[in-house]
Each structure stands twice: as C-alpha cells, then as structure tokens.
Amino acid sequence: MSSIPRRRMKGRVWNLNFDRGRGVFMGKRGDLPSVCSASEPSGVLVVDKPEGITSHQAVAQVKSRLSLRKAGHCGTLDPFATGVLLVCINQATRISDQLQIQDKAYRFVMHLGVETDTLDHTGRVVRTHAGEPCSPETLLRALERFRGVITQKVPLFAAVKVNGDRLYKLARKGLPVEVPPREVTVHELELLEWLWPKATLEVRCSKGTYVRQLAADIGTAAGCGAHLCQLRRLASGPFHVDQAVPLQEIASYGDGESPFRRMLTMNEALGSLPEVRIEDSSLLRAAYEGYLDPEWEAEQRRRLSVTEGPVRLVDKRNCLVAMWWPWAEGKERRKLRVFK
C-alpha cells in the first residue's frame, strides 16, 4: 500500500457519541477531528413549512430560534405552498447540493376553467372557460400526456434567475424574457378526487418541475384551462412530511426542550448514497487530511456496484468523514469533500 503523507492535524479531536437532545456528538479528546464536533450541531431538519411565508423566511426563523451560525434550505416552496422543507444546519449546508437533486412528491388542487397570469390563485384572472364542465374522463386522458419525460416551460413568475435578475421581477416590470424550456420527469401522476371545478392530484417528479406549470398545462390539454390553488410538498427524496417538524413547533420550544432530537445527522441525510466504511486509523487520518491511498481507492472501485456519483466515507461511529467521487477525472474535478 502506498505511503501516506503526514501532515499536521489542526483543531480539537474527539472520541464521540451522538447526543440526540443537544444535536451534537459528545466525547473526550481522542485521535481524529470530526464533523461530529461538540462545538455546534450539524445535520438536517425536515421542517413542515406553513402557508404565507417564503422558504427564506422559514429558514430565518429556524436559524434565529436555534441560534445557528449557518442554515439553508434545499428546494424553494412558494409562499402559498406548505410541506416538506429541508433545512441544512451548519456544516450540512455543504451537502445541500446532493439533497436538492432528489425527486419531490406533491399533492395539489387545480381550479379548472379559470386561468391566471401567475398560474396560481395569487394571480390575476386572464381567461375563463365558458363551455361545458370538463368531465373526469377528459381529465384522465389529459393526464396521460404528462407522465414520463416531458418538456416544460418555466413560468414567468418564477424565482429562477435570468442574467442575474429574478424572472418574476422582470415579469412584474413587463419586460419580455425568453427562457428555454426544460426537460423534467413525471414518475407518477394520479387523480385523487374530482368535483367540478376542483381536482385533487398527486405527483412524484424530478427536481426542477414546476407544479404550477404542470397544472396549467393539464388544464389546457383538458380544453378548459386551469390554475393551481393549493400545493403541499409531501416528500423530498426519502424525507416525508410525516417526519417533519412543524415550523410553529420549533418557534415554541421551551428552554428544556430540544428540536435537535428530530435532526438527522449528515450521514443519515445522505443515506441514499453508497457507503464505504473506513476503520483503519491511518487511512482515516489521511482521509481527514484530504488524501486517499491509490491502492485503497482502486480496491474500493472494484467493490462498488455504481459507476457514477459520490460515495459516503464513514468511520466506525457512523460519522460522515467525506464524500468521495471515485470516478472523477482531471484536476478540474474535485473528488473528495472532507467534513471536520
């Protein structure tokens, strides 16, 4: 096995056990540094966002109430939308890119026969259907066109940036903007309830799918038009609304209570990624310094069943050491993201 370069280890080092109440790993000084540091909690809170606030405002409330140094969310919800909002705390903000790309699931209500400029109930009515009510059979036929890989327009009133400006700000100024359509994947799309003019549906779709646009397009395909009047995110990746902490609950925690009991560790949050466990102390020490032994790397590549994407490197305490991209090539591609 290749020799491991010796470098000076910085900061405190710990032997640790996870304290669910405080949301941190507790222990005494030991051999290695770790993201599982007792100095501050790092992990992911699954929050149930209420209606009427932005995702940014929801994160600000969590950050303020818990006195956090750093926090961010994975996947914006419109102010009128509710449901799952993943809030990454402190070092977990460095894994948000992996959580954002996961599929999402929603339950939504369409108002058939009425179209708005924003494609949802907050906008101005621009068209109403004067014909016969759409039948459930017609709606079901329309849904067939929106399963699988579809091409979707980006709504004019969207938060995506165009040349540095938010698209919705340009739309409000009446400035003409062309945004290329994007391909998204609708894995599941089911009609749950229909009573003219409302229809309730559930969808599981890829990152970047605009449910407002989906509802409007379904209405057009059904021949009557529609807009979105309710939206609830049921899941983001494997994280479901049933395990979410209501934002109001976080805001009302007493001094003797702790929301960190509901926090996922960084390793748990990335549980969908393949795992490689490092138990050898010399290999572990080198990994914390950003170095992986080439022979060890080659052996692990042969064992892995996947051929792309990152892998979790964890220690024997199930603490996340790093994310490793085994197949990254070239100096321009970073292959190791260390947490300590």
Give the residue carrying structure tokens 């419109």. 78
Distances in Å between the alpha carbon of 83 and those of 104, 220, 258, 269, 316? 11, 27, 21, 18, 35
- The predicted pLDDT at position 160 comes to 60
Q: Which of 189, 217, 236 is the last residue of a domain?
A: 236
* Domain of 304, in residue numbers: 14-38+273-338
- The predicted pLDDT at position 140 comes to 97
Reported confidence tier of residue 172, pLDDT bands at 50, 70, 90: low
Whether 320 and 282 share a structural domain: yes
Whether 132 and 203 share a structural domain: yes
Residue 304 domain flag: yes
Whether 117 and 199 share a structural domain: yes
Q: Over the stretch 80-133, which tens digit does the pLDDT of each residue have?
A: 999 999 999 999 999 999 999 999 999 999 999 999 999 999 999 999 999 999
Task: Please count the other Cβ atoms lying within 10 Å of the Cβ belonging to residue 191.
Answer: 16
Whether 204 and 80 share a structural domain: no
Whether 108 and 230 share a structural domain: yes
- The predicted pLDDT at position 181 comes to 84
- The predicted pLDDT at position 79 comes to 93
More confident residue, 168 or 335: 335
Whether 130 and 158 share a structural domain: yes
How many structural domains does the chain have? 3
CB distance 87 to 96 below 8 Å: no
Radius of gyration of the chain (CA): 24
Q: CATH number for the domain including 243?
A: 3.30.2350.10
Q: Which of 34-38, 124-128, 193-197 has the lowest mean pLDDT?
A: 34-38
The overall average pLDDT reported for the chain is 85
Marked catalytic residue, from 19, 31, 78, 97 = 78
Whether 135 and 217 share a structural domain: yes
What's the whole-model pTM score? 0.84
Tokens for 16, please give them. 């640790």
Burial class of residue 290 (count of CB atoms within 10 Å of its CB; 0-12, 13-18, 19+): middle
Cβ partners under 8 Å of residue 253, min gap 6: 65, 259
Q: Which of 236, 254, 289 is the last residue of a domain?
A: 236
Whether 74 and 111 share a structural domain: no
Residue 9 domain flag: no
Q: Over the stretch 121-169, which tens digit does the pLDDT of each residue have?
A: 999 999 999 999 999 999 999 999 999 999 998 876 555 655 656 656 6
Burial class of residue 44 (count of CB atoms within 10 Å of its CB; 0-12, 13-18, 19+): buried
- The predicted pLDDT at position 167 comes to 59
Pseudo-torsion of CA 272, 273, 279, 282, nearest 10°?
A: -150
Reported confidence tier of residue 18, pLDDT bands at 50, 70, 90: very low
Residue 105 CA to chain centroid, in angstroms? Answer: 11
Q: What angle do CA 71, 76, 77 make, to 5 degrees?
A: 120
The amino acid that residue 124 corresponds to is R
The residue-averaged pLDDT of 268-279 equals 95
What element of type H or E holds 312? Answer: strand 311-314
Residue 82 domain flag: yes
Give the residue carrying structure tokens 């049921």. 234
**Is 78 a catalytic site residue?**
yes
Residue 149 domain flag: yes
Residue 208 domain flag: yes
Whether 133 and 230 share a structural domain: yes
Whether 215 and 326 share a structural domain: no
